[in-house]
Amino acid sequence: MAEFVYKQIIDDLKKKIFAGQFADMRLPDERSLSELYQVSRSSVKQALTKMEHAGIIFKKRGSGTFINPLYIKNESVFNYEGSNLGVTDNFHMNGQKPQTRVLGFEVIPPTEELQRDLFLEPHDFVYKIVRLRLFDDVPFMFETGYIPIKIVQNLNQTIIEGSIFNYLENAHNLAVTKSFMSIFAEPSQEQDRELLLLKENEPVGIMEGIFFLDNGTPLEFSHMRIHYQYLKFNTFVSVQ
Amino acid sequence: MAEFVYKQIIDDLKKKIFAGQFADMRLPDERSLSELYQVSRSSVKQALTKMEHAGIIFKKRGSGTFINPLYIKNESVFNYEGSNLGVTDNFHMNGQKPQTRVLGFEVIPPTEELQRDLFLEPHDFVYKIVRLRLFDDVPFMFETGYIPIKIVQNLNQTIIEGSIFNYLENAHNLAVTKSFMSIFAEPSQEQDRELLLLKENEPVGIMEGIFFLDNGTPLEFSHMRIHYQYLKFNTFVSVQ
DNA sequence: AAGTGGTCTAGACCACTAC
DNA sequence: TAGTGGTCTAGACCACTTA
């Protein structure tokens, strides 16, 4: 963590933002930061650009760099900022204990869709893992995930009852740092209502997509069905 | 459009991707592209990084740069890629004619929340605009937006019946190119069901957040309530 | 060993904002 | 006019993948 120059700048600026060090909602200019941290302006710019994409700040050309008021307003909202991408770390927990109930665990040949999405050959078998996630015995989502066995061969019940991503990082030094995700919503189906304790009129939020390792290898195709109260996705969008 | 080197590279690569010019799902390496376009590798990298954030490609360190299979799978899915951020341009239209029904149009003092989100003083009045959006007489969302009059003073019924963003770009040369958005879902309320013709059990998707001008000025706080079938949000997430 | 993307430097000039 | 972020160059060295 924080091995690179730009990551150290991000960590330091975030710490200062939370400490209220920029009361005027304004960061020092790029050239000052370059001097302060004794790095090139390019490295400062790289840090600030990533912070902008994380929804922490925004830049005003000709004026300066400012803290995003929505970031201060609702910190917990920025699920994906500053942690890894695993479920365990990213849904609002408020100190509650996360639990996992394994509903399915098998190895199957990849469908054509999976072959394309995960860059697989027909003979590249995949784990199919279905898990229900809970906080303090309250279920909030269930997930169907597909992971090629050529990337990891020794998954077992104990591992998938915890965080697969943490296991991969700790035991195999494989970090999950990128994903492409679609987010949408549907009326709940009977299985949703059973597993997530939803009423007839309450919907599910759906997130599905591909998780990538730090080196760009597609690791998992995941389909998550989420209790609507637990899905709040925050994002920065920019056009070219 | 395409005035800068990196934008020209984006446009050209996208054209080639759609033309199926990279059948192996792989782009040329950065140094080759640098030579091909006669620009520095940094400029190539800037283009590729933006394309990665747009969900078009992903990079594999040590291996190369590849086309995102989800991008090919469902083009229409990437609502925000390659156009501006206005509603008119971003919901799946399939050639249908977009319509707008104005439900409210007034000027009010900014709430404290709006003052913070749009960087306003208490005396900076805002337009409050409520609009229902339809395709071929089928309503798909309604939106409440707040725009400071200090940015634009001459909005009228005719303008807000069309695209405000297009008007700002054409008449005032103000381009909307960035936004911070929260996406979530709720059971539909009575007003939702009335306006969007939803059944009791069908939900609304909600997108709310801030739109920024190209220069970073916060332009609008917007709250959109969307028929669940029309909300599909696609995004790239990366951790530092 | 060769090839690829990642990080980083030390500048230059431009476009825009604020005064 | 001075200050700010945006674009761009021409390199350097590193980490990782592939063969």
For residue A76, pLDDT beyond 90: no
Indicate yes or no: CB of B215 within 8 angstroms of CB of A116: no
Q: B29 CA, C2 C1': separation in Å?
A: 14
The answer to whether the CB of B125 falls within 8 A of the CB of B148 is yes
A113 and A200 housed in the same domain: yes
Domain stops at, among A47, A73, A99: A73
Q: Which residues contact B202 (CB under 8 A, 6 or more apart)?
A: A187, A203, B188, B193, B227, B228
pLDDT at A141: 92
Asked if the model's pLDDT at residue A96 lies above 80, the reply is no
Task: Please tell me the total count of domains within chain B.
Answer: 2
- pLDDT above 90 covers a percentage of chain B that reads 49
Residue in B28, B52, B55, B222 with CA at minimum distance from that of residue B144: B222
Mean pLDDT of chain A: 85
Would the pTM of this model clear 0.75, i.e. be above it? yes
pLDDT per position as a tens digit, A12-31: 999 999 888 998 889 999 99
Q: How far is A184 from chain B (nearest CA, A)?
A: 5
End-to-end CA distance of chain B: 30
Strand B138-148 and strand B218-227: pairing?
A: antiparallel
The pLDDT tens digits for B182-196 are 888 999 999 999 999
CATH of the domain at A95: 3.40.1410.10
Is the predicted pLDDT of residue A82 greater than 50, yes or no?
no
- Does A213 have pLDDT greater than 70? yes
Asked if residue B237 belongs to a domain, the reply is no
Flag whether pLDDT at B97 surpasses 90: no
**Residue A202 domain-assigned (yes or no):** yes
Who among A82, A184, A231 is closest to B232 (CB)? A184
Q: Give the nearest partner residue to B180 out of A59, A202, A236, using CB atoms.
A: A236
- What single-letter amino acid sits at B185? A
Same domain flag for A61 and A93:
no
Q: Are residues A115 and A161 in the same domain?
A: yes
CATH number for the domain spanning A28: value is 1.10.10.10
Output the average pLDDT for chain B.
85
From A73, A107, A122, give the residue that closes a domain. A73
Regarding whether B23 and B94 lie in a shared domain, the answer is no
**Cα distance between residue B113 and residue B179, in whole Å:** 17
State the nearest Cα–Cα gap between B73 and chain A, in angstroms: 9
Which amino acid type is present at position B214? D
Q: Give the pLDDT confidence of B119-144 residue by residue, as tens digits.
A: 898 999 999 999 999 888 889 899 99
Please name the amino acid found at residue A140: F
CB-contacted nucleotides of strand D (7 Å): 3-12, 15-18
- The whole-number Å distance from B206's CA to C6's C1' is 37
Mutate to test the interface with B, among A180, A214, A223 (most CBs of B within 10 A): A180
- Which of A58, A181, A187 is closest, CB to CB, to B203? A187
Range of the domain at A172: 87-230
Domain boundary pick from B73, B96, B131: B73
